[in-house]
């Protein structure tokens, strides 16, 4: 049997070493056995930038009062088959995001046929706490 779990590290977590443990509990939350130490992890706190960068194609689209799409950068508008199209999207969270959301980008022709795509399924903090 295989099980995967996403363990979000809260944004307010401080840097330092933490112990990763595994515990099995019953439906009432009572442990069925002692917790097992799996590994020690190092939390690194990234440098946070609180100023907006210059965005090549600024927009402001409010998505449900949770997120604002601020715009995008596109390295080139001319590509050949086999090339990589580099697209940077800029987002600003207005509050803690609830539940799941999907971000997708599609490269369409003039008939709206998809020639390339990238889909990403993500979840907000409250969605993660419910077990993702």
pLDDT tens digit string along 66-106?
889 999 999 888 888 888 889 999 988 888 776 777 889 99
- Say how far apart CA 93 and CA 50 lie, in whole Å: 12
The domain spans of the chain are: 57-129
Per DSSP, the three-state class of 114 is: strand
Q: Is the pTM of this model over 0.75?
A: no
Give me the mean pLDDT over the 100-125 stretch. Answer: 84
């Amino acid at each position: 049997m295989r099980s995967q779990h996403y363990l979000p590290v809260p944004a307010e977590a401080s840097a330092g070493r933490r112990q990763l443990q595994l515990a099995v509990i019953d439906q009432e939350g009572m442990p069925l056995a002692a917790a097992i130490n799996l590994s020690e992890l190092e939390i690194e706190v990234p440098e946070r930038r609180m100023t907006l960068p210059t965005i090549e194609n600024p927009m402001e689209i409010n998505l449900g009062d949770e997120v604002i799409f601020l715009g995008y950068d596109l390295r080139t508008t001319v590509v050949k088959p086999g090339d990589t199209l580099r697209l940077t999207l800029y987002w600003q969270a207005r509050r803690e995001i609830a539940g799941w959301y999907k971000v997708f980008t599609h490269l369409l022709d003039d008939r709206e046929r998809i020639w390339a795509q990238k889909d990403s399924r993500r979840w907000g903090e409250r969605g993660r706490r419910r077990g993702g």
